[in-house]
Amino acid sequence: DTVTVHQKIRPKDVPGTLLNMALLNLGSSDPNLRTAAYNQLCALTATFDLKIEGQLLETSGLCIPSNNTIFIKSVSEKLATNEPHLTLEFLEECIQGFRVSSIELKHLCLEYMTPWLANLVR
């Protein structure tokens, strides 16, 4: 038997953790999970007042296409520019999730992580 040890989430980590969860799940092959991830992203940006500049519209019956990598990268780029204080928590969560993701989601994760790396030298 193995015991999985989970890291405790601190309040300041919540936006970065949830942001990675939303972006990663937007790349899922499951349409219901993509829709839930989009709604989570909408709620996250509203709750934490994240600046995405009108990229998100909340509506019922929304269909999120599976080939939305450009959209995911665009959202990530805007947030990396406008919310650099989330960088460490976001990247830490990306790295944690990377280990257990499918190869397709690992590629997506690397793509949406990239804009945040420039914030590490600031």
Which DSSP symbol is given to 120? G
Range of the domain at 57: 11-121
- Residue-wise pLDDT for 78-122, tens only, equals 999 999 999 999 999 999 999 999 999 999 999 999 999 999 986
Instruction: Quote the tokens at residue 12.
Output: 């300041």
**Number of domain units in the chain:** 1
Helix extents (H) in 6-67: 14-26, 31-47
Residue 31: inside a domain, yes or no?
A: yes
Q: Please tell me the pTM assigned to this model.
A: 0.84
Residue 1: inside a domain, yes or no?
A: no
